[in-house]
Each structure stands twice: as structure tokens, then as C-alpha cells.
Structure 1
Amino acid sequence: MRVNNLHRVLNIIIATIWLVNGLVCKVLNLVPRHEQIVGQILGSTYSRMLTMAIGISEIVMAIWVISKFKSRINAITQISIVAVMNLLEFILVPELLLWGKLNSFFALLFIGVVYYYEFILKKELR
């Protein structure tokens, strides 16, 4: 696959991951486990509202990824958010994660893809 095509495909995949997690899992609440995680970490009183806010933020992230606006800042933001979120979940609520502590592996994989997309593959485009 040509570098340009791979870059385009990864852009769509990364944005889709954010969109699905934000819209489907959190805003539409089709995966209630996400609200349970928020409730366990931040308290159950406002867990639905906070889960919605997180979901909307993830939808905005998907739009930001697709736009390619300030892509380096975007990649650093994505990497930071995923790392912190997964560290908190790993420590505080591993029993609520889909794959338990193995979720960290998938988080690292996603972080690696974002890093590769922005800091390695993009250099090859120039």
C-alpha cells in the first residue's frame, strides 16, 4: 500500500475509533459499562452527564482527526488522553474493563498507531 493511501486509511481508522467510542458507547449508551466506569471513578451522581460529556469530547476528537488541523498537537493530545485514561482504569476499575488489565495492551497498540501515523508515516509523505 502506498504511503499516501496508508496515511489516509489510518486517519479514517483513528477517527472511527473515536467516533464509535464517543457516539455509540457513551452518547447513545449502547455500552453501559462506560458509564459504570465513570461512576466508579468520579462518582455515580453525575455519571450519565459526565459520560455524555466524555462521549461528545470523543466525537469532537474524531472531527479533529479528520480535519488534520494542528495534527501534531492532536496526536500528542490523543496519546496523552489514552495513556492517562487507561492508567486510571487499570488501577481503579480493572474489573469493569472489557479485557481486564489486558486493555492496556490495546491502549498501547492504539497509541503506537497514532504515533506511527503522525510522527513516522507523515515524514515519509514529505
Structure 2
Amino acid sequence: MCNFQLIPNIPAIKLQNLHKTLSFLIATVWLINGLVCKVLNLVPRHEQIVARILGDENSRLFTVLIGFSEIIMAIWVLTKFKSKLNAIAQMTIVASMNILEFILVPELLLWGRFNIIFAFLFIGLVYYNEFVLNKKLNPQTTS
């Protein structure tokens, strides 16, 4: 029988630090994508993707609204409010968005269709942080 563990016997303080670090990293990804890429429009490719999927007419407005939603997601991650619901929302949003982009606009993605690999790695990180690490740190919580 295999004795593989996702979390070896690491002191709780180190697991807590890892969880905080990963939460900060995840929030930073949402913040950068929302604020820098979409609201400030420093990566115009994001608006081009929105325009191709939702139409040119209101693409800037939709891009800014998506950006603000991503900023709110970053804040939600950091607050730890309903963290399981938050993780499920993140995983669902990232999977849906990336599957749509994979099908509809792969030529506009930074790494083309390979973007989906990074999306699912991010989903795995969110899952690991909430449903493995956080569960080990707080086995009694049901938030």
C-alpha cells in the first residue's frame, strides 16, 4: 500500500504560513488580472478577448466590470469569508472562462490553447489551499 500524503507531518505553524502565503498569492493573481490587466487596460488583449466573446459595442465596459469583479474576488480571498464557497466560485469561474477562451479565442491567449494547462494548475492550487491545507488546519470548520 502506498503511503503518499499530500501534507506530510509538518508543524501546524508551517502549514499555517504556507496557507497564508498561498492565499496571498491567489489573491494577487486576481488583483493583477483585475486591476492591471482589465481596469487599467495595461494588457489590451483582455479587452480584445471580451470584445470577441461578448461583442465590440460594450467591450470596454464589460472588461472593467470583469476587472472590478476580480478585484472583489481578491478581497474575498483575503477576508476568508465563506472560504469553501469562495474556492468553489474561483474554480468554477476559472474553468468556465478558460474553456470558453480555449474554444472561442485561442489565438488571443498568451500561450494559445496551452493556457488551459495554467488555468487548471491554478484551480489545483486553489483546491489544495482550501480543501487540503485549510482542512488540515481547521478540521472542524464547515465554512
TM-score, normalised with respect to structure 1: 0.98
Q: Which residue of 2 aligns with 1:7?
A: 19
Residues of 2 paired with 1:5 and 1:113: CA distance?
A: 15
How do 1:21-100 and structure 2 match up within 5 A?
21-100=33-112
Aligned pairs, number? 126
Superposition deviation, residue 53 in structure 1? 0.2
Does residue 124 of structure 2 align to residue 112 of structure 1?
A: yes
Runs of 4+ that moved beyond 6 A: none
Please state how far the C-alpha of 1:123 moved relative to its aligned partner: 1.6
What secondary structure is seen at the aligned counterpart in 2 of 1:102? helix
Q: Which runs of 5+ in 2 are unaligned?
A: 1-9, 139-143
TM-score (norm 2): 0.87
Q: Residue by residue, what CA displacement relative to the aligned partner does 1:36-75 show, whole Å, maximum 9, x if unpaired?
A: 0000000000000000000000000000000000000000
Q: Which runs of 5+ in 1 are unaligned?
A: none
AA at the equivalent of 1:33: R
The amino acid across from 2:56 in the alignment is S
More helix by share: 1
Structure with the greater alpha carbon radius of gyration: 2
